[in-house]
């Protein structure tokens, strides 16, 4: 897709939006939960994908790291196959309409509903010294991201479902109060792996900023590190390689193996009937290493080419802004802001 404004048959395609925030490095859960679907959807939909850097400053953050990760995320977007010729790839803070719409949506979101957000509660508990207003308003910025593009579909992992539902509620409320303004977006979750768990604590979500990084496999981890993390993965005292909710550790590994080799879960169970947990963990590690090898090689080439990454960012921001402006101007008119002719 060159431009969502093009008067081409592209207009008939549904619109997809998703973003990832550069707080910590990308990990397997991000890939399985969101990035994989984002790549898959490029051919059939008009997609807008962003590095959500404005969301990153809601937690304590080192500016130089944020800057480095923003380039890094864009290079990884390209390395996994997101294509700037097909999709709009941009950095959130470079499209000012996101902050502008977020302010308006803040005024159509109740304090009570924002206080109920699980991630707000979790993050506030984790860093009680920095419960800032931005952290509280995080979901309204996310709603603005989505609603600006009249998005139909949002590929995300399960942990973002509550935020998406809030975005839907805000959109519906605004549409009812004024007149239809926003498309009501639907979440798209992967059939498998909507929630990938930490390898050392298979009851907790794998996260970019988990305290114990030994349970988190980062997309740019080197092969030895990946193998070491899988070999140490926590399982149970059973011996059966069988997907079962009462066996979260082994089930998580089966999901990861299934996704990275394209093998259905029942076939994985058959393939490893009689194998030991130790052998299986090695095989999962090897499958992930092989899958990531070409991605890491492409990332390595791209990440040093800042000029090219900036060109992708600039083009993406221009295209995104052109679309976002239309929604924003509609919203401004409806809430009563004077717009100069
Ligand atoms: P973020 O950066 O925490 O995560 C990016 C995406 O990865 C998914 N994900 C997972 N999926 C499965 N298992 C896991 N362990 C796992 N960990 C993360 C997340 O669900 C997400 O889809 N607020 C968002 C970023 C954002 C956004 C948006 C997303 C900003 N604006 C608009 C969609 C639409 C976030 O923090 O994701």
List, for residues 277-334, the tens digit of each pLDDT value.
Answer: 999 999 999 999 999 999 999 999 999 999 999 999 999 999 999 999 999 999 999 9
Tell me whether residue 306 is one of the annotated catalytic residues: no
Share of the chain above pLDDT 70, in %: 97
94 vs 236: which has the higher pLDDT: 94
Of 7-16, 53-62, 107-116, 212-221, the range with the lowest mean pLDDT is: 7-16
- Distance of alpha carbon 140 from alpha carbon 151, whole angstroms: 15
- Distance of alpha carbon 255 from alpha carbon 257, whole angstroms: 5
- Confidence tier at 92 by pLDDT (50, 70, 90): very high
- Average pLDDT over the chain reads 95
Ligand 1 center to residue 159 CA distance, Å?
7
Helix-helix angle 248-261:277-303, to 10 degrees: 50
- Distance of alpha carbon 318 from alpha carbon 309, whole angstroms: 14
Tell me the average pLDDT across 51-56. 98
Strands 197-198 and 186-188: what pairing?
Answer: unpaired
Mutate to test the pocket of ligand 1, among 16, 32, 72, 157 (most ligand atoms within 8 A of CB): 157
**pLDDT for the residue numbered 8:** 55
**pLDDT for the residue numbered 137:** 98
Rg, the chain, Cα only: 21
List, for residues 217-270, the tens digit of each pLDDT value.
Answer: 999 999 999 999 999 999 988 889 999 999 999 999 999 999 999 999 999 999
**Catalytic one of 36, 195, 208, 247:** 208
- Candidates 90, 88, 24; CA nearest to 61 is 24
**pLDDT for the residue numbered 79:** 98
**pLDDT for the residue numbered 210:** 87
Determine if ligand 1 sits within 6 Å of the CB of residue 1.
no
Determine if ligand 1 sits within 6 Å of the CB of residue 18.
yes
Determine if ligand 1 sits within 6 Å of the CB of residue 29.
yes
Any idea what DSSP says for residue 196? P
**Catalytic one of 86, 158, 205, 334:** 205
Determine if ligand 1 sits within 6 Å of the CB of residue 69.
no
Q: Where are the alpha helices (DSSP H) in 178-264?
A: 223-231, 248-261
Strands 186-188 and 153-155: what pairing?
Answer: parallel
Share of the chain above pLDDT 90, in %: 94
Angle at 36 between CA 35 and CA 38, to 5 degrees: 60
Determine if ligand 1 sits within 6 Å of the CB of residue 30.
yes
- Distance of alpha carbon 170 from alpha carbon 110, whole angstroms: 9
**pLDDT for the residue numbered 9:** 59
Angle at 203 between CA 259 and CA 253, to 5 degrees: 25
Q: What Å distances lie between residue 265 and 268, 288, 290, CA to CA?
A: 5, 16, 19
Q: Is 252 exposed, middle or buried (0-12, 13-18, 19+ CB in 10 A)?
A: buried
This prediction has a pTM of 0.95
Determine if ligand 1 sits within 6 Å of the CB of residue 331.
no
- Candidates 88, 91, 95, 90; CA nearest to 42 is 88
Nearest CA to ligand 1 atom 26: 19
Nearest CA to ligand 1 atom 24: 20
List, for residues 138-192, the tens digit of each pLDDT value.
Answer: 999 999 999 999 999 999 999 999 999 999 999 999 999 999 999 999 999 999 9
Tell me whether residue 205 is one of the annotated catalytic residues: yes
- Distance of alpha carbon 172 from alpha carbon 127, whole angstroms: 33
The answer to whether residue 5 scores a pLDDT higher than 50 is no
Determine if ligand 1 sits within 6 Å of the CB of residue 139.
no
**pLDDT for the residue numbered 207:** 95
**pLDDT for the residue numbered 97:** 98
Determine if ligand 1 sits within 6 Å of the CB of residue 258.
no
Greatest alpha-carbon span in the chain: 74
- Distance of alpha carbon 98 from alpha carbon 50, whole angstroms: 11
User: Please, what sign has the CA dihedral across residues 291, 294, 297, 303?
Assistant: negative
Ligand 1 center to residue 100 CA distance, Å?
22
**pLDDT for the residue numbered 323:** 98
Nearest CA to ligand 1 atom 34: 18
The answer to whether residue 1 scores a pLDDT higher than 50 is no
Ligand 1 center to residue 258 CA distance, Å?
21
Q: Is 180 exposed, middle or buried (0-12, 13-18, 19+ CB in 10 A)?
A: exposed
Helix, strand, or coil (residue 145): helix
Atom of ligand 1 nearest to the CA of 207: 17
């Amino acid at each position: 897709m060159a431009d969502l404004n093009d008067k081409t048959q592209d207009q008939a395609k549904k619109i997809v939006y998703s973003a990832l925030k550069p707080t910590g490095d990308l990990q397997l859960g991000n890939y399985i939960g969101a990035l994989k679907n984002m790549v898959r959807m490029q051919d059939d939909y008009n997609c807008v994908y962003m590095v959500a850097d404005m969301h990153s400053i809601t937690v304590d953050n080192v500016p130089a790291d944020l800057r480095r990760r923003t380039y890094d995320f864009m290079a990884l977007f390209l390395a996994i196959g997101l294509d700037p010729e097909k999709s709009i790839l941009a950095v959130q803070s470079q499209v000012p309409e996101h902050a502008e719409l977020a302010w308006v949506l803040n005024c159509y979101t109740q304090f009570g509903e924002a206080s109920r957000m699980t991630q707000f509660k979790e993050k506030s508990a984790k860093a009680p010294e920095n419960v800032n207003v931005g952290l509280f308003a995080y979901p309204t910025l996310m709603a603005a991201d989505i609603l600006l593009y009249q998005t139909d579909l949002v590929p995300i992992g399960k942990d973002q479902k509550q935020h998406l539902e809030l975005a839907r509620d805000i959109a519906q409320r605004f549409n009812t109060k004024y007149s239809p303004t926003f498309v009501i977006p639907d979440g798209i979750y992967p059939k498998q792996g909507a929630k990938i768990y930490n390898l050392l604590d298979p009851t907790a979500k794998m996260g970019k900023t988990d305290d114990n990084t030994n349970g988190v496999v980062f997309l740019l981890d080197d092969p030895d590190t990946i193998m070491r993390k899988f070999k140490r993965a926590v399982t149970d005292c059973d011996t059966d390689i069988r997907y079962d909710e009462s066996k979260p550790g082994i089930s998580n590994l089966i999901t990861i193996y299934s996704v990275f080799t394209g093998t259905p879960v029942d076939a994985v169970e058959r393939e490893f009937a009689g194998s030991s947990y130790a052998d299986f963990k090695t095989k999962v590690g090897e499958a992930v290493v092989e899958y990531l090898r070409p991605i890491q090689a492409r990332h390595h080439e791209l990440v040093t080419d800042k000029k090219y990454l900036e060109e992708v960012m600039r083009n993406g921001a221009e295209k995104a802004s052109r679309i976002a402006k239309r929604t924003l101007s509609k919203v401004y008119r409806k809430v009563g802001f004077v717009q100069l002719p």
